Amino acid sequence: MPALAHKRPRPGDKAIATRDKLRKSLLKWYDRNGRDLPWRLRSGKPDPYRVWLSEIMLQQTTVAAVGPYFAKFLAAWPDVESLAAAPRDDVLEAWAGLGYYSRARNLHAAAQALAAGGFPPDEVGWRELPGVGPYTAAAIAAIAYGEATNVVDGNVERVMARLYAVEAPLPGAKAELKAKAGALIADDRPGDWAQALMDLGATVCTPKSPKCKACPWIDDCAAYASGAPETYPRKIAKAERPERFGVAFRAERDSAIWLVRRPDKGLLGGMAALPTTEWRSEAWTRAEALKHAPAKAKWREAGAVRHVFTHFALTLEVYVADAAPKGEGWWGDARALPTVFKKAALVGRQ
């Protein structure tokens, strides 16, 4: 009888073993330490509407900021049909203060598409909807439908950069980091896996002062072994944020202020606002600014506010008058205003 041939490892066996080890330790950690969030279910079938709504709100926004808005939206519009039927201005008003206002316009447009055509069953289908990019589509598909997608946000990029001590700096390293995250994907618990990676980055593998001793991957982490995990991911120095200047006009009548609707296209598109000049790279003189006032009146300078957007910082001088503007607009209050205009509506008041 011939001797039995020695079993040689198949190509990739070591990589699969490493993947399975990392997955087992992280999912075990997640089961014990995963965050309890209003939109997260630990058991039962996830509601695609809640998953989609939360993922849109969480785009470039913290969990702490999203929580109250998520509850408010569910109270007002508990399902996609009610959100689709709501006036867009009501949705924009409810979104005020959460930032990145194109998300609110896209949310309403997508709700109408979902109410008419149903929820897509996979990542490809979600990519077709307004406001749903690669990350959001992958997250919804994994969490709501159990599709084994590659869900990569900033938290996951940071975890991968440290786990493998990737020397290439961001943003150029994004493709490499996504590929490394993709190599850890498996069919087992894809939704939990996506959320476990995000939770690890958000609560343990944090940008500054990572809590390495609490990390389930400490023994496998190349950045920890280097002695300087906080230096990953490597980054190219950011260019200085440009400064812009404008003037906002606060026309007052009794306790109301004059509001206008910003154009759909552009920053803060579709949101309620105070009338303003253009935002430009140099400060406005009083004579220049008054040419853009919404009414002829005795405008006084009440002060200035500064607000930092993603790509620039804005200083708004605020002019106030007891005036009666004409044209499109309405009398209202500051509650539904984006943060920068809410600041301008309050500056100089006792």
- Residue 131 inside a domain? The answer is yes
Residue 283 to residue 156: CA distance in whole angstroms: 41
- Residue 9 inside a domain? The answer is no
Residue 78 near residue 72 (C-beta atoms within 8 A): no
| 153/263 same-domain check | no
| 64/197 same-domain check | yes
Per-residue pLDDT at 169: 96
Q: How many domains does the chain have?
A: 2
CATH number (domain holding residue 104) = 1.10.340.30
Residue 148 near residue 186 (C-beta atoms within 8 A): yes
pLDDT digits (tens, 9 = 90+) for 63-119: 999 999 999 999 999 999 999 999 999 999 999 989 889 999 999 999 999 999 999
Contacts of 173 (CB under 8 A, 6+ apart): 157, 161, 166, 233, 234
Per-residue pLDDT at 350: 53
pLDDT digits (tens, 9 = 90+) for 313-325: 999 999 999 998 9
| 225/326 same-domain check | no
Could you confirm whether 55 is annotated as catalytic? yes
In SS3 terms, the chain reads as CCCCCCCCCCCCHHHHHHHHHHHHHHHHHHHHHCCCCCCCCCCCCCCHHHHHHHHHHCCCCCHHHHHHHHHHHHHHCCCHHHHHHCCHHHHHHHHCCCCCCHHHHHHHHHHHHHHHHCCCCCHHHHCCCCCCCHHHHHHHHHHHHCCCCCCCCHHHHHHHHHHCCCCCCECCCHHHHHHHHHCCCCCCCHHHHHHHHHHHHHHCCCCCCCCHHHCCCCCCCHHHHHCCHHHCCCECCCCCCCEEEEEEEEEEECCEEEEEECCCCCCCCCCEECCECCCECCCCCHHHHHCCCCCCCCCEEEEEEEEECCCCEEEEEEEEECCCCCCCCEEECHHHCCHHHHHHHHCCCC
Per-residue pLDDT at 278: 96
Residue 203: band (very low, low, confident or very high) from pLDDT cuts 50, 70, 90: very high
pLDDT digits (tens, 9 = 90+) for 243-265: 999 999 999 998 899 999 999 88
| 113/220 same-domain check | yes
| 50/70 same-domain check | yes
DSSP SS3 for 276: strand
> Where is the domain boundary, 186, 202, 231?
231
Residue 297 to residue 276: CA distance in whole angstroms: 15
- Residue 66 inside a domain? The answer is yes
Residue 295: band (very low, low, confident or very high) from pLDDT cuts 50, 70, 90: very high
| 61/36 same-domain check | yes
| 225/277 same-domain check | no
The strand ranges marked E within the chain are 243-253, 256-261, 272-273, 300-308, 313-321, 330-332
Per-residue pLDDT at 348: 82
Residue 2: band (very low, low, confident or very high) from pLDDT cuts 50, 70, 90: very low
Q: Which amino acid is at 188?
A: D
pLDDT digits (tens, 9 = 90+) for 152-192: 999 999 999 999 999 999 999 999 999 999 999 999 999 99
Q: Is the pLDDT of residue 193 over 70?
A: yes
Per-residue pLDDT at 238: 82
CATH number (domain holding residue 288) = 3.90.79.10
- Residue 7 inside a domain? The answer is no
The pairing of beta strand 300-308 with beta strand 313-321: antiparallel
Residue 326: band (very low, low, confident or very high) from pLDDT cuts 50, 70, 90: confident
| 224/340 same-domain check | no
**Dihedral (Cα; 31, 75, 136, 240), 10-degree rounding:** -100
pLDDT digits (tens, 9 = 90+) for 17-65: 999 999 999 999 999 999 999 999 877 889 999 999 999 999 989 999 9
Per-residue pLDDT at 5: 41
| 187/316 same-domain check | no
> Where is the domain boundary, 200, 231, 262?
231
Per-residue pLDDT at 153: 94
Q: Output the DSSP codes for 193-214.
A: HHHHHHHHHHHTS-SSS--GGG
Q: What number is the average pLDDT over the span 131-156?
A: 96
Per-residue pLDDT at 335: 86
pLDDT digits (tens, 9 = 90+) for 229-243: 999 999 988 888 999
DSSP SS3 for 36: coil
Q: Is the pLDDT of residue 141 over 50?
A: yes
By residue range, what is the domain housing residue 319?
243-346
